[in-house]
Amino acid sequence: MKIGIVGAGRVGCACALAAVVRGSARAIVIVDRTRARAKAVATDLRYGTPLCPKTTIVDGDYEELADAALVMITAGINEKTGGATDRSDPQGRLRLLEKNAEIYRDIVPRVVRAAPGAVILVVTDPPDPLADIARDSAGHDRVLSTGTFLDSLRFRVHLAEHFEVDANQVEAQVIGEHGVSEVFLWSSARIAGVPINKLIEQRGETLDKVREQIEKSVRYANITIIEGNDASQFGIGIVSARIAEMVLRDERAAIPIGSYHEKFGVTLSLPSVVGRDGVVRTFEPEMSPEEQQALERGAASLRKSESRT
């Protein structure tokens, strides 16, 4: 099975590296507006493939995306270049929407002409409204946003560090927008079946204090990373490769991921079953009234942003 990656910037390279190391696909095609860059990245990675699961990685133009089961789009203006690194900015990543929408309206039709049956995975920020633009441009619903999958992993990692356990033993999700309005589902977060609020109480801590600390770390993790390394790339690269595997292998794995929801009128993340055609089924988890209201506010914010493009 083959995947395509459009965009050979830092995030695109991280996606390609993760896919090669994990053996996510038997064939990977890298497309970039600068063909020399795509060729250099593919060549560099190819020299390491003998140490990885069997993978063929090449550069190409859009035509080489033919028969791809999934195409990741990572092209666009990133957070640092687009000025989306101010923690006090209520727009957050949405500040990048206007410029990246133009780029997507050019790229997506080319992808669809070359690979009409492919699932499109939107990786570029802000991924949720860009997924809606991709849906319109593609003329089909096989469009995913990486959504809050990475945010949920960050949430689990910070909870694991706080309680000194393995992150794989933490059950916790972030839903809604991949951005400042994302919703942390504290009401259903658990470790080994024990609700987080009970564990906090046992430690003599308060939920409000722990919540403030962890939500701040997760919500602005991208900015913290960018301040030290110019780009947030490796986590999203691994996440994107994992999503590709779910699609190519028709895994029916359940993760928080972005897809279009008629109820909200936009793409946002809810726990969803992912298979060969993208999102197969969506679950709406139990939420506290506060969490439900936050999800609805986030959806309204996304609708407002999209109406301007």
Q: Which long-range contacts (CB under 8 A, 24 or more apart) does 246-252 make?
A: 246/274, 246/275, 247/69, 247/70, 247/119, 247/121, 247/274, 247/275, 247/276, 247/278, 248/1, 248/3, 248/24, 248/25, 248/69, 248/70, 248/276, 250/275, 250/276, 251/275, 252/280
Beta-bridge mates of residue 171: 190
Distance CA 130, CA 95 (A): 12
Distance CA 208, CA 144 (A): 33
Distance CA 246, CA 248 (A): 6
How many angstroms from the chain centroid is the CA of residue 219? 14
Q: Shortest CA distance to 42 belongs to which of 54, 56, 53, 52?
A: 56
**Active-site pick, 140, 158, 162, 178:** 178
Binding residues, as ranges, are 7-12, 32, 100
Which DSSP state fits 163?
Answer: H
Beta-bridge mates of residue 4: 29, 71
From residue 153, alpha-carbon distances to 43, 150, 184, 257 in Å are 31, 5, 12, 12
Question: Hey, is 2 helix, strand or coil?
Answer: strand
Tokens 């957070």, located at residue: 79
Is 178 annotated in the active site? yes
Binding residues for NAD(+), as ranges, are 7-12, 32, 100
212 contacts: CB under 8 Å, gap ≥ 6: none
Q: Shortest CA distance to 275 belongs to which of 98, 97, 69, 131?
A: 69
- For the annotated catalytic residues, the residue numbers are 178
